[in-house]
Amino acid sequence: MPECMNIRYAAGHSCYAGPAGKVWDLVMSHDARRFAREGLEEVARAAEQDKMVRKGSNMRAFVLQDGVSRLREDAPVPVPGPHEVLVRVLLAGICETDLQLMQGYMQFNGTLGHEFVGIAESGRYTGQRVVGEINCCPVARCARCPENRRHCPRRTVLGILQRDGAFAEYVAIPEENLHPVPEHVGNDRAVFTEPLAAAFEILEQFPQVTERRVLVLGDGRLGYLCAQVLASAGARVCVVGKHRAKLARCAARDLQTCLLEDVPREWMEQRSAEVVVDCTGSPTGFEWACRLVQPRGTIILKTTVAGTQTLSLAPLVIDEIQVLGSRCGPFSVALRALAEERIEVESLITARYPLTRIVEALELACRPDQHKVLVDIEVGHG
């Protein structure tokens, strides 16, 4: 950005001062096009955002504060930072992490939601549908980003850590986090970009899965996606879960399945699984993984739960088990897989609600017979 400065007076008067002391008053015209013609793209962007916020300073947002959640009708429209843009949210997905946050995980306060597709209101993707990576760095040119943005010590996390999320009409997000959605990928597919990227992260961290016996524990949303991704890489996958209907969905994708109650005794006696992926969303998932993985095998953890887990670590040392934490993943890879229809996601959608009924949506998402509950942000607005 050129040497410009946003000056705000107490009365709400705004102007922008540019090089050589030139000043443009934004109160009357907000003429962003004129700024752009003079090469001041960043000033133009700020003017457009300022104008949009002035049109209506309040929005609907589902907020968690000190353990109490509610839908606010008067939440302030977020004001993007210097390298951020405003995104008008079209569709959001409810994730297990959202449910854990409502139970106290991370002690989060703010607007929930991190799986979304929306329309960029400014920046190089203006007017385009976008999805956004959830790890956000407040520094425009951080030495540790973007290669290590997921673990940058300065980072905030959309709807999870010190940054308002996407269960709202608008969300502010760094422009570098955005990825344009291919035209032929519908919103119902695009909203799965974030969880599908998390599934692909397994291959980024542990690519040597071809012909290996892999058990995926958990037949829910993430388990279904992880199983498909691993199978596409040549792994011999078996999904272990508690729900016959959910396992039937996996079987329809030619994945081997097994009810947890029917796990053969010899699986635990022989411990023949080279890799076990915990997608259970349950504190008992890791314990089961330890029972099933072979000595010198690998446990990949995708589960985060509220509360403290207690487990003896001695067997991990004795059997030389490798434990690999796995979190966010590559959006570009996920979007390409969605565009090429290599991963099936639509059957996961079991319900959708407007934002005005998000409390009902979250209650439904807690039920074991549900997979992905979507929130249409614009439906029911008025």
314 lies in some domain: yes
Is residue 15 domain-shared with residue 27, that is, in the same domain?
A: yes
* Whole-angstrom distance, CA of residue 253 vs CA of residue 229: 11
Is residue 83 domain-shared with residue 126, that is, in the same domain?
A: yes
41 lies in some domain: yes
- C-alpha 227 chain-centroid distance: 19
Tens-place pLDDT, residues 299-346: 999 988 766 777 788 989 999 999 999 999 999 999 999 999 999 999
Is residue 200 domain-shared with residue 312, that is, in the same domain?
A: yes
Residue pLDDT tens, the chain, 382 long: 333 333 232 333 333 333 333 333 333 344 444 444 444 455 455 555 555 544 458 999 999 999 999 999 999 999 999 899 999 999 999 998 999 999 998 999 999 999 999 999 999 999 999 999 999 987 767 776 766 778 888 899 999 999 999 999 999 999 999 999 999 999 999 999 999 999 999 999 999 999 999 999 999 999 999 999 999 999 999 999 999 999 999 999 999 999 999 999 999 998 989 999 999 988 899 999 999 999 999 999 998 876 677 778 898 999 999 999 999 999 999 999 999 999 999 999 999 999 999 999 999 999 988 999 999 997 544 4
Here the contacts of 360-366 (C-beta below 8 Å, separation 24 or greater) are: 361/94, 362/69, 362/94, 362/98, 362/99, 362/102, 365/94, 365/98, 365/99, 366/99
Residues contacting residue 66 through CB under 8 Å, at least 6 positions apart = 109
pLDDT of residue 92: 98
164, 157 Cβ separation under 8 angstroms: no
* Whole-angstrom distance, CA of residue 200 vs CA of residue 60: 33
Is residue 66 domain-shared with residue 184, that is, in the same domain?
A: yes
Is residue 188 domain-shared with residue 296, that is, in the same domain?
A: no
Tens-place pLDDT, residues 32-90: 444 444 444 554 555 555 555 444 589 999 999 999 999 999 999 999 998 999 999 99
* Whole-angstrom distance, CA of residue 107 vs CA of residue 66: 8
Is residue 275 domain-shared with residue 249, that is, in the same domain?
A: yes
Please name which of 169, 156, 93 lies closest in space to residue 349, comparing C-alpha atoms: 93
CB count within 10 Å of CB 131 equals 27
Rounded to 5 degrees, φ, ψ at 284 are -85, -10
Is residue 284 domain-shared with residue 243, that is, in the same domain?
A: yes
Q: How many domains, in total, are found in the chain?
A: 3
29 lies in some domain: yes
What's the pTM? 0.83
Give the domain extent around 41.
5-54
CATH number at residue 205: 3.40.50.720
pLDDT of residue 305: 74
Tokens read off for 29: 């015209």
Return the sign of the alpha-carbon dihedral for residues 151, 277, 196, 229: positive
93 DSSP β-pair partners? 115, 374
